[in-house]
Amino acid sequence: MTFLVDANVIVYAAIPSRYREPCLEVLAAIAAGKADGKVSTAVFEEVWHLELSGRVGPIRGLAERAYRAFTPLLPVTDDIVARALRLDAKRLGSNDRIHVATALANGIATIVSADSDFDQVRAIRRVDPLDDRAITRLL
């Protein structure tokens, strides 16, 4: 099953917390070709912003490593922006709408994310990295 990987999964794979191991497991499975996870240019941009902000600690090089692991990224096209604008998810932020629209435009119905805001969108299923059973089914 193909799924979209959110920026927090990539960032949490690099910093100490209870999220780290499951997030690393997801990324490693994708890199090894055992799971079909995708990263979009919008997700990549968020990782890069977080790295450059310096507010998540010393995670220098994370964006470049994520790029090497997940290229080619899913592009955010004009069609995806149009879908994001039409999305029925009033409480979802603009970038999260872009993520959902990117997934739907690519026939992806699942996003792995620690962000529960995605739970309000019926069109997509969120899998939390801490949900062992759901992650096991996905990988």
Partner 1 sequence: MFTERLQVLMSREQRRRLEAEAKRRRSSVGALIREAIDTRGASATPEERSRAIAEIKSMRGGRFLSSRELERVIDEERERLPGRARRRR
If you write DSSP's letter for every residue of the chain in order, what string do you get? -EEEEPHHHHHHTTSSSTTHHHHHHHHHHHHTTSSEEE-BHHHHHHHHHHHHH-BTBS-TTHHHHHHHHHPSPBP--HHHHHHHHH-S-TTS-HHHHHHHHHHHHTT--EEE-S-GGGGG-TTSEEE-TT-HHHHHHH-
Please report whether residue 136 would count as binding partner 1 according to CB under 8 A.
no
Q: How many residues bind partner 1 (CB under 8 A)?
A: 43
Residue 116's φ and ψ, nearest 5 degrees, are: -70, -10
Task: Write the binding mask 15 to 54 for partner 1: x where contact by CB under 8 A, - elsewhere.
Answer: xxx-x----x--xx-xxxx------------x--xx-xx-
Please report whether residue 65 would count as binding partner 1 according to CB under 8 A.
yes
Looking at beta carbons only, is 62 or 104 nearer to partner 1?
62
Looking at beta carbons only, is 119 or 132 nearer to partner 1?
119
The strands making up 36-38's β-sheet, listed across from edge to edge, are 36-38, 2-5, 110-112, 125-127
Please report whether residue 119 would count as binding partner 1 according to CB under 8 A.
no
Using CB under 8 A, pick the residue from 2, 41, 56, 131 that binds partner 1. 56
Please report whether residue 107 would count as binding partner 1 according to CB under 8 A.
no
Shortest spacing between CB 91 and partner 1, in angstroms: 13
Given the rule CB under 8 A, which residues bind partner 1? 7-8, 10-17, 19, 24, 27-28, 30-33, 46, 49-50, 52-53, 55-59, 61-62, 65-66, 68-72, 93, 95, 113-116
